[in-house]
Amino acid sequence: DGARFAYALKAAGVEMKGELEVSGWEEGKGWRMASVKGMKTNVHWLFEPLAENRSRLTFVTEYEVPGSFLGAIADKLLVERTNEANAEKSLQNIKRLVEG
């Protein structure tokens, strides 16, 4: 708990930066992170054993795009798609690394 890291990403050419802090770490089970700078964000990685040599990795992210009405539009048009694509890439990279 307490580890922090900075991030930067682009959504439709708009750069967003922030900092996340690990707020919950459970050895072998997963971790949670919450934003301390930038867009309000909560992230949860959860590992569930399924059978011998098999696990399920679940990734959940919640965030709020700044601004009320315009923020909601930007979220639907830009940020949500970028986040989904980035999450899918991350999960595929993890799968590739774990499975070889």
Q: What is the DSSP letter of 77?
A: I
Nearest alpha carbon to residue 58 among 76, 45, 77, 43: 45
In the chain, the number of structural domains is: 1
Within 1-100, residue ranges assigned H as helices are 69-74, 80-99
Least confident of 5-14, 37-46, 63-72, 77-86: 63-72
- Domain range holding 40? 4-99
**Looking at residue 48, what is its pLDDT?**
92
The pTM for the full model equals: 0.70
Alpha-carbon span 57 to 28, nearest angstrom: 11
Using the CB atoms, write b or e for 11-38: b if 16+ within 10 Å: beeeebebebeebeeeeeebbbbebeeb
Looking at the predicted structure, is the pLDDT value of residue 27 above 80?
yes
* pLDDT digits 0-9 by tens, 62-87: 887 766 656 667 666 667 777 788 88
